Amino acid sequence: MESENVTKTGTTTLGMVCKEGVVIATETRATMGTLIAHKATKKLYKIDEHLALATAGLVGDLQILARYLNAEANLYRLKRDKRIPVKSAATLMSNILNQRKFFPYYVQLILGGVDSTGGHIYSLDAAGGAIPDKYTAGGSGSPYVYGVMEDSYKEGLTIDEGVDIAIRAITAAKNRDSASGGMINIAVITDQGYKEITEEEIKKRMEKLEKTN
């Protein structure tokens, strides 16, 4: 994630489908060119109890898009007395992005959540493309994330295994991508709702992974 007067996207985000739901993670560094502008930037947004958005791009664009989607999810629930399906949320965000033809939102998004059909992850680009997948990554640190996930991801992962993979992947990006750094933020979404992993638990898991390796 970068400040609004730069043109390159520097961030690391990821999302993956697990057996019990989805895991979404980001780091927290915001850059302005070669300057580290902020060390604890919010890039992971809770949209609803079953839905989250991981964001890379311009801060202003990301914040307004998160607010749009949060408002639409709330309206959907109020009108229909049920939560918006993940695919519908992805289509809605895709339409919002696609409406800006000449001055597009400078963003790369990962939308993840759980509904009656299971866990889902979507990668969305600035032109409105929405691609479902089992796992995906975004931002300048994504090549390092894919290196870890291609090696470690498998069908039927537990949430616990997914969190450990997310920690390894984001850490790899932080170690190699200068635009990625700071803390690691991780959210898990299951049938029980949205939960963010505490900083203390992430540190404990990192120590355990280091000993194992």
Residue 64 lies in a domain: yes
Residue 3 lies in a domain: no
Q: Which domain holds residue 66?
A: 13-212
Residue 197 lies in a domain: yes
| Total domains in the fold of the chain | 1
Residue 46 lies in a domain: yes
Contacts of 198 (CB under 8 A, 6+ apart): none
Residue 9's pLDDT is what?
52
Q: Which pLDDT tens digit goes with each residue over 30-50? A: 888 778 888 888 999 999 999
Helix (H, G, I), strand (E, B) or coil at 137: strand
> For this structure, is 9 an active site residue?
no
Residue 95 lies in a domain: yes
Residue 5 lies in a domain: no
Q: Which pLDDT tens digit goes with each residue over 123-148? A: 999 999 999 999 999 999 999 999 99
Predicted TM-score of the model (pTM): 0.92
**Given the residues 7, 9, 11, 117, the one annotated as active site:** 11
Residue 123's pLDDT is what?
98
Strand-pairing partners, residue 51, are 48, 113
DSSP conformation class of 2: B
Domain harbouring 150, CATH code:
3.60.20.10
Residue 2 lies in a domain: no
Contacts of 88 (CB under 8 A, 6+ apart): 76
Tell me how far apart the alpha carbons of residues 7 and 189 are, in angstroms, rounded to a whole number.
32
Distances (CA, A) of 29 to 49, 74, 150, 201: 26, 29, 24, 20
